[in-house]
A and B are shown apart, each in its own frame.
Chain A
């Protein structure tokens, strides 16, 4: 018993010391003694695993018990929606895709966290990158979500392959195709086999629909996040029947010429091993490739891969005519060297929201826990760990290279990797993913299915655009056009 006791005391002492070191905002007394916070999220170790570990630390500091339950991703939204909307309220916090929050907030199911945020200097609110601070966490100007993971697409390229061929990393989508064509068929990993110019995950019923949005964004949005890439903010008319979207379709299809032969059946879990085995010169991906590339158990590209903001375009869609027009300072105020870049927050990232019906004590504890997850002391370490599934969303996360070097990056690969993150996170023209009711239907059904049919050669580009248009209109009508338009505007931070 005495051994156990002294062990417990030692553990407690160590945790307390850690607490003092990690969380200066924590009160000395047990602030949330006896409170239990029930969290629901997707199965771990990705996302959920770190919540559990940090939950233990949080308990030692504040006395609040953090219970993390998980359900498969596909069931997560239904589970939360039914639990909260039917008044069961067995869940206090959902850690889920930020896109779902608009619908939940519209039904008054989410607690407004704005006051907590305003009185929480430890959160370092201004350190959170503009898109995540102002759009991902907020709905209609109020903070409902606390981000724990920043998700946006970047382009990755093989520094050695491009150097060998005397090529510059592509800055526009046309250049992307040119570079892919130039290096396609070369041996890029020394195994004597021809490798690929571009590797994209184009499998149907998976995550491929985000690719077309990443390409189309550059043509569709040039005036900042508030412009949106999905609908006209007034009429909810889909932005898919124009020259920009058509051009994006052409580019996406043409990348297939320089990809693996079975690219149409590759999900992101299939492309990653191909990329890590050194078979791809260019690719679009989330932030995960950086930490994965330094994992020598599976990677042959440590130090050979760099990231960059998504390629852009010198021509963007004139919303009035639907025609592609050359960039001017008025049309593309955020362009660099005449190229409009639109980084796309595909999926937006995992974020925590609190049940509005939870006990005020639980809400306070839940907020403190999410704030603890989000605060730089914790998150700047967590995002460097590939297994957590957390990607960067704070300015200090790309400005401060040391945590990355500590995590195993070489100085050079850390700099390579962080380059694009900074460019993307600082961009005021980051495109928001769709965050209104029916998102799963707009994207997961209409867009996913029609893009798959287009890539498989079942339908032409015109038919694809018409089909998506009609499918989206049907969903909009179904949910009610006025309400959808209002929520779409709210999701883009347009208040009127």
Chain B
């Protein structure tokens, strides 16, 4: 750290054997010199301390918690180390049905899905090792193996639950929210962005209106959508009844309940995708678009050949952010259904929250870490294999 420090008097304190020189240096100057030399450390320190206190320490503490059994007692806490017991309970033990889903006999369709997933992943790996998708490296190999095994595990989980007619666990439900929810949000967000980038009347007004839902607190959205969906006494009850749906209860069927949570989530998050993609679309060079028009290209061709390549890096990044956020969905199922019917709408974060509220922080920590693991593997894979690759191709 001393290399960039000040050198008052041409010498650094401590380096000079003649202590008398230092003693002669005025006090204020020495202090200034010391500050000068420590400047970088001092400037960085607050940020480092903040990250250590609020990010790294909780991460380590949570991990340690997830390997223990914790009890609040008179006289304080009692923490007992139990190894990986909390994780085993979720993946293989008494909570397996809750976390991964109910495993019974895997159906024929389930085996087909498993085999298809295995074949696809094997093809992908062979293609990589064949050197057809760039040079083979150690990091690339390890990363791809982790990605492939997690994807295979998830595929088998869906094959043994969803495709075998048994129930999804909180992991499956969370992935459903992420994949289906974020997919719908991307399509609608992109569509709205395209509309608002057209020279239509009142587009500033629409931009503000479309952006508003993002500023509403998720708890409020949960309440609002629960009320709106109430076919018996909500504000839209007359409308539902007019359609003959007065006795329709969306919260009683697992899939309508999940679908409705996605509706609420999409209402909140489409604006985010919309506003980012709109900015990207506005940056597409006008001259290219005009040249395309001059050459007689249709609007689909212009979108596909000119606009899309320009917005892909932004779209990939915005989806990455949205997916990370999507994994953490908790407010809406908590407000709208309380995780019901049964456990049909319970996300992993809600699962973890329930465990925490039952004064079982260790189990809660284990679920959080499992969520972190799945999120990190999927998001890093997505980033390395989609975002970077696309950016390399188009950027």
Chain B residues with Cβ below 8 Å from A206 are 338
Q: How far is the CA of A86 from the CA of B74 in the complex (A)?
A: 8
Query: Is the CB–CB distance between B232 and A203 below 8 Å?
Result: no
- Chain B 352-394, CB-CB to A under 8 Å as 1, else 0, gives 0011011110000000000000000000000000000000000
CB neighbours (8 Å) of B247 from chain A are: 261
Q: Is A274 an interface residue (CB 8 A)?
A: yes
Contact string against A for B residues 176-200, beta-carbon threshold 8 Å, 1 for contact and 0 otherwise = 0000000000000000000000000
Q: How far is the CB of B72 from chain A (nearest CB, A)?
A: 5
Known contacts being A204-B339, A205-B338, A262-B231, is A456 close to B74, with CB within 8 Å?
A: no
Q: Which of B73, B94, B358 contacts A440 (CB 8 A)?
A: B358
Closest approach, in angstroms, between the C-beta of B99 and any C-beta of chain A? 13
Minimum C-beta distance from B89 to chain A (A):
9
Q: Which of B248-256, B263-271, B306-314 contacts A (4 or more CB under 8 A)?
A: B248-256
A85 touches B76 (CB 8 A): yes
Q: Nearest-CB distance from B79 to chain A (Å)?
A: 14
The answer to whether B74 and A262 have CB atoms under 8 Å apart is no
> A204 contacts which of B167, B340, B355, B357 (Cβ < 8 Å)?
B340
The residue among A204, A263, A457, A471 with the most chain B CB atoms within 10 A of its own CB is A204
B232 near A106 with CB under 8 A, answer: no
Q: Does B174 contact A (CB under 8 A)?
A: no
Q: Which of A234-270 contact B (CB under 8 A)?
A: 260-265, 267
Question: Which of B107-115, B152-160, B341-349 forms part of the interface with chain A?
Answer: B341-349
Docked-complex contact B94 and A455, CB < 8 angstroms: no
Asked if A474 CB lies within 8 Å of chain B CBs, one says yes
Question: A29 near B: Cβ within 8 Å?
Answer: no
Residue contact A456 to B72, C-beta cutoff 8 Å: no
Q: Are B339 and A261 touching (Cβ within 8 A)?
A: no
| Interface mask (B62-87 → A, CB under 8 Å = 1, otherwise 0) | 00000001011111100000000000
Do B232 and A265 touch across chains, with their CB atoms under 8 A apart? no
Q: Contact check, A204 vs B232: say whether CB atoms are below 8 A apart.
A: no
Also in contact, A273 and B233, with CB within 8 A (given A440-B358, A449-B343, A456-B340): yes
A470 vs B97: C-alpha distance when bound (angstroms)? 14
Complex alpha-carbon distance, A263 and B340, angstroms: 12
A478 within 8 A of B: yes
Tell me if B72 and A261 are in contact (CB < 8 A): no
Contacts of B94 in A (CB 8 A): 470-471, 474
Chain A residues whose CB sits within 8 angstroms of the CB of B338 once the complex forms: 203-206, 265, 267
In whole angstroms, what is the CA distance A265 to B249 when docked? 9
**Chain B: interface size category:** 35 or more
- Does any Cβ of B come within 8 Å of A118's Cβ? no
Q: Are A107 and B251 in contact (CB under 8 A)?
A: no
Mostly helix, strand, loop or mixed at chain A's interface?
helix
B337 at the A interface (CB under 8 A): yes
A455: contacting residue among B254, B339, B341, CB under 8 A: B341
Cβ of A479 to closest chain B Cβ, rounded Å: 8
Cβ of B36 under 8 Å from chain A: no
Residue contact A82 to B337, C-beta cutoff 8 Å: no
A452, CB-defined interface residue at 8 Å: yes
**Chain A 281-299 residues near chain B, CB threshold 8 A:** none
Q: Are B340 and A81 in contact (CB under 8 A)?
A: no
A441 at interface by CB-CB < 8 Å: yes
- Which bracket fits the contact residues of A? 35 or more
CB-CB contacts below 8 Å: A73-93 with B = 74, 77-78, 81-82, 84-86
Q: Which residues of B contact A453 (CB under 8 A)?
A: 342-343
Is A419 located at the chain interface by the 8 A CB criterion? no
Chain A residue nearest in CB terms to B167? A458
B341 touches A261 (CB 8 A): no
Interface membership of chain B positions 229-251, coded 1 if the CB is closer than 8 angstroms to chain A and 0 otherwise? 01111000000000000011111
- B74 — which chain A residues lie within 8 A by C-beta? 81, 84-85, 103-104, 106-109
A403 CB, nearest partner CB in chain B, Å: 33
Q: CB-CB < 8 A to B73: which residues of A?
A: 85, 107
Closest A residue to B251 using CB positions: A265
Residue pair A264, B340 in contact (C-beta under 8 Å): yes
Contact of A262 with B251 in the complex, beta carbons under 8 Å: yes
Given contacts A78-B359, A107-B75, A261-B249, contact A204 B342 (CB under 8 A): yes
Whether A441 and B360, one on each chain, are in contact in the complex, defined by CB atoms closer than 8 angstroms, is yes
Within 8 A of B (CB), among A317-336: none
User: A444 interface residue, CB < 8 Å from B?
Assistant: yes
A405 within 8 A of B: no
Question: Are A452 and B341 in contact, CB atoms less than 8 angstroms apart?
Answer: yes
In the complex, the answer to whether B231 meets A78 with C-beta atoms within 8 Å is: no
Residues of A within 8 Å of B72, CB to CB, are 78, 81-82, 85
Query: How many angstroms from the CA of A110 to the CA of B81 in the assembled complex?
Result: 30
- Pick the contact of A205: B167, B231, B354, B359 (CB < 8 A): B354
Instruction: Give the Cβ gap from A327 to chain B, nearest Cβ, in Å.
Output: 35
Residues of B close to A261: CB separation below 8 A:
231-232, 247-249, 252
B231 touches A74 (CB 8 A): no
Central interface residue in A104, A267, A441, A453, by most chain B CB within 10 Å: A453
What is the bound-complex CA distance between A86 and B76, given in angstroms?
Answer: 5
Q: Which residue of A lies closest to B340 (CB)?
A: A204
Pair B354/A445 contact, Cβ less than 8 Å: yes
A77 to B72, alpha carbons, bound, how many Å?
A: 11
Q: How far is the CA of A273 from the CA of B233 in the complex (A)?
A: 9
**Interface bits A277-316 vs B (CB < 8 Å: 1, else 0):** 1000000000000000000000000000000000000000
Residues of B within 8 A of A106 (CB): 74
**Judging by beta carbons under 8 Å apart, are B343 and A262 in contact?**
no
Identify A456's interface contact among B69, B71, B252, B354, CB under 8 A: B252
Q: Which of B249, B254, B355, B359 contacts A262 (CB 8 A)?
A: B249
Beta-carbon contacts of A445-467 to B below 8 Å, as 1s and 0s? 10001001101111000000000
- Tell me the bound Cα distance from A455 to B343 in angstroms: 11
CB distance from B267 to the nearest CB of A (A): 19
B residues near A260, Cβ cutoff 8 Å:
232, 249
**Bound complex: CA A444 to CA B251 (Å):** 20
Q: What chain B residues lie within 8 Å of A77 (beta carbons)?
A: 359
> Is the pair B341, A265 in contact by a Cβ cutoff of 8 Å?
yes
CA distance A106 to B75 in the complex (A): 11
Q: Is the CB of A456 within 8 A of B357?
A: no
Collect the chain A residues with CB atoms within 8 Å of residue B249's CB: 260-265
Question: Which chain B residue has the least Cβ–Cβ distance from A107?
Answer: B74
Among A452, A471, A479, find the residue whose CB has the most chain B CB atoms closer than 10 A: A452
- Shortest CB-to-CB span from B258 to chain A, Å, is 13
Nearest CB of chain A from residue B237's CB, rounded to whole Å: 11
Return the CB mask of A145-181 against B: 1 if under 8 Å, else 0. Answer: 0000000000000000000000000000000000000
CB distance from B280 to the nearest CB of A (A): 40
Contact A444 B341 (CB under 8 A): no
Which residues from B are CB-within-8-Å of A438? Answer: 359
Q: From known contacts A109-B74, A444-B357, infer whether A458 and B342 are also in contact, taking CB-CB under 8 Å.
A: yes
Q: Bound state CA distance, A457 and B74, in angstroms?
A: 41
Name the residue on B nearest A440 (C-beta).
Answer: B358
Q: In whole angstroms, how far apart are the Cα atoms of A142 and B167 in the complex? A: 48
Q: A261-B247, A262-B232 are known contacts. Are A441 and B339 too (CB-CB below 8 A)? A: no
CA distance A452 to B254 in the complex (A): 12
Give the shortest distance, in Å, between B97 (CB) and chain A (any CB): 9
The interface centre, meaning the residue of B248, B355, B357 with most chain A CB atoms within 10 A of its CB, is B357
Contacts of B354 in A (CB 8 A): 205, 445
23 contacts between A and B (CB under 8 A): A85-B76, A103-B74, A203-B337, A203-B338, A204-B337, A204-B338, A205-B339, A262-B232, A262-B249, A262-B251, A264-B340, A265-B249, A274-B233, A441-B359, A444-B358, A445-B354, A445-B355, A452-B341, A453-B342, A455-B342, A456-B340, A456-B341, A458-B167
Query: What 16 additional pairs, Cβ within 8 angstroms, besides A264-B252, A455-B341?
Result: A74-B357, A84-B74, A203-B340, A205-B340, A206-B338, A261-B252, A262-B230, A262-B250, A263-B249, A265-B337, A265-B338, A449-B343, A455-B342, A456-B340, A458-B343, A458-B344
3 shortest interchain CB distances as A-B pairs: A107-B74, A204-B340, A205-B338
